[in-house]
Amino acid sequence: MSGNRSIYEQVILEHNKKPRNFRSIENPDRKVEGYNPLCGDHFTIYLKMDDDVIEDISFEGSGCAISKSSASIMTALLKGKTREEASELFNKLHHMVMSDPESELDEGDLGHLMAFAGIRNYPMRVKCATLAWHTMLNALEGEADSVSTE
Stretch that binds Zn ion, among 43-51, 60-68, 74-82, 99-107 (CB under 5 A): 60-68
Quick one: 20 or 127, whose CB is closer to Zn ion? Answer: 127
- Decide: is 64 part of the binding site for Zn ion (CB under 5 A): yes
DSSP string, 109-121: T-GGGGGGGGGGG
Which residues lie below 8 Å from residue 80, measured CB to CB, with a gap of 6+?
Answer: 53, 54, 55
Residue 12 is which amino acid?
I
Where does 1-150 have alpha helices with state H? 2-17, 65-78, 83-98, 126-141
Tell me the closest approach of the beta carbon of residue 84 to Zn ion, in angstroms. Answer: 28
- Decide: is 136 part of the binding site for Zn ion (CB under 5 A): no
Sheet holding 146-148, edge to edge: 53-62, 41-50, 30-36, 146-148
Q: What residues numbered 106-135 form the site for Zn ion, per CB under 5 A? A: 128
Quick one: 28 or 34, whose CB is closer to Zn ion? Answer: 34
Of 8, 39, 48, 92, which one interacts with Zn ion (CB under 5 A)? 39
User: Which positions from 66 to 95 touch Zn ion by CB under 5 A, shown as an x/- string?
Assistant: -x----------------------------
The CA distance from 65 to 120, in Å, is: 16
Residue 120 is which amino acid?
R
Stretch that binds Zn ion, among 23-31, 49-57, 65-73, 103-111 (CB under 5 A): 65-73
List contacts with Zn ion (CB under 5 A): 39, 41, 64, 67, 128
